[in-house]
A and B are shown apart, each in its own frame.
Chain A
Amino acid sequence: MFLDANSFSSGQVQRTKVCVFGSGPAGIALARSLSGRGIPVLLVEAGGDEYDDASQEFYRGTVIGDKYYDLSEARLRMFGGTSNHWGGYCIPLDAHDFDPHPAFPFTGWPISKADIAPYLEGACDILDIPNQFEERLLGRDVRQTQFQFSELLGIGEKYRDYIEASTTLDVCLDSALIGIDANAGGRIISATVRSTSGADWSVEADHYVMCLGGIENPRLLLWFNEQSGRRLIANHDLIGRYWMEHPLAIVGDAIFANGGEGLFRDDGEEASFATTGAFQRRVGVLNADLLVNEVPYSKTKGLIADIMCVAPGLGRSIMTLFDKELVCGARVRSHFEQAPVYENRVALGSEKDRYGIPRPELYWKRSQADRQTVVSTARAFAEKMADLDLARIRLADWILDDAPIPDADIMAGWHHMGGTRMSLDDSKGIVDANLKVHGIDNLYIGGSSVYPTGGYANPTLTIVQLSLRLADHLENVLGNSNQ
């Protein structure tokens, strides 16, 4: 049920088995899964039931480096979290995304795709998409991929009725996590929460899970560790490091013969491709997708006129097909994987929010290796399309001129990954393979901040898979502690 946290008095204590902070896809999937097993859960959300400027203001921050979004626009502080402005793109990570890449240090997960595969069906069910992600090889290096598109806008809405009827899942909105208290044995004994009303109350739980997003997770962990005299997490410097996005670049235009038949989605709007893992290892680049979107009739005509100047014979045959409405022009864009680098990070800024917690400073740059990934992927794709006579691609000028990736209005995917990365080694990661914070017995982290690398896959589907896996783990831990 929903509890009115604004009616709580200062000093009030809420007791539960598992306390989950954050009601985005990571938090709701975890809380729903645990409560469905009869485990009492308190879900604590800093934002309110609906969008509110005053609440959103807490998300302001500074970006240092490449052009990036205003941090208060790149995420949402409300019930359902950032899923409220989610695009709905879903695809699982590739198996090779979990493996170390020989050319890139700090790659490789401590778990494999097989470890989260059992949770794919459940994650698809939560996100209202079919579990269907087929691939087709186009030669040795390029593959056609298949996204699914969730129409779920705001995961909170989907579970509102469930929460209202539930006897095991309580939800407090307007309640921001502002502190944690740990004992000398490395165990959290309580968490302090501030209601919008101004009352500070606390939660006492067996286990605590931070699912606050890829910027808030590292920011608050940095702050709590500072407050503890850096005793909570030994490797303070690692918190917030190796932060990643999926930068976006327009890589070219395309002309598809036969309307791109067999390549575009059933609705004809988009086709998606990627290179193979073998290609990425051989060439020394990371993963990237290529999304091909049909452009209007007038732009298609312009592309045909352009190719006519370069290859008149080809242009004439395309024109014949165009007259029969068998040609489509398209724009090709790519979301590409960023190499995890130490310098890209979330740090604590000098300015503080209304609760006295430092606002985030995001240090973010695209590297030369990132550029190489998208350029090599675009070139391989263009060559394969010509080779198979499926399409002709005109590569963007910045690729041919060896120029930097141009800034655009849409710079990246709003995919905040890394910052509390997963590793078996506490000198290389903040959480272990079970998402438990190294050195703390009962603090876990959910969401894409635990990703050691990001692949090209939009992160939500994997976030939900990881939450369902964490629910299994917590159920086991709670079962063992009750015996």
Chain B
Amino acid sequence: MIRSFKIRYTRRRAVLFSLLSLAAMPLAITLRPRVQSGWVLRASDR
């Protein structure tokens, strides 16, 4: 009983984390400094 709860909980947590990381990925890509005409800029610079 306890074991199956743990498995279910672990699976749910894994799914949740995957969804969260997918959602965060575009944000991370946007925030990472990018090169434009040679200049390495922050997202807020553009």
Contacts and interface: CB of A to CB of B under 8 A. Distances in A.
Nearest to A397: B38
A307 B41 CA distance: 10
Given A382-B33, A383-B33, A387-B33, A392 B45 contact: yes
Given A311-B46, A314-B45, A386 B33 contact: yes
Interface of A, secondary structure class, is helix
Contacts, number: 51
B4 interface: no
B41 A310 contact: yes
Given A382-B33, A383-B33, A386-B33, A314 B38 contact: no
A392 B41 contact: yes
A412 interface: no
Nearest to A393: B40
B5 to A, nearest CB: 37
Interface residues of A, number: 22
A385 B45 CA distance: 13
Nearest to A383: B33
Contacts of A395: 35, 38-40
Contacts of A54: none
A385 B33 CA distance: 9
A320 to B, nearest CB: 15
B46 A252 contact: no
B12 interface: no
Give the contact-size bracket for chain B: 10 to 19
Contact of B35 (A385, A387, A400): A400
> Which of B35, B38, B40 has the most chain A CB atoms inside 10 A of its CB?
B40
B8 interface: no
Interface in A390-434: 392-397, 400
A311 B35 contact: no
A387 B42 contact: yes
A142 to B, nearest CB: 12
Contact of A394 (B33, B38, B42, B45): B38
Given A387-B33, A395-B35, A400-B35, A382 B40 contact: yes
A314 B41 contact: yes
A389 interface: yes
Given A310-B41, A392-B39, A393-B40, 19 more contacts: A252-B38, A311-B46, A313-B45, A314-B41, A314-B45, A379-B40, A382-B40, A383-B32, A386-B33, A386-B42, A389-B42, A393-B39, A394-B39, A395-B35, A395-B39, A396-B38, A397-B38, A400-B35, A400-B38
26 contacts: A307-B39, A309-B37, A310-B36, A310-B37, A310-B39, A310-B41, A311-B36, A311-B45, A313-B45, A314-B45, A382-B33, A385-B40, A386-B40, A387-B42, A389-B42, A392-B39, A392-B40, A392-B41, A393-B39, A393-B40, A394-B39, A394-B40, A395-B40, A396-B38, A397-B38, A400-B38
Interface of B: 32-33, 35-42, 45-46
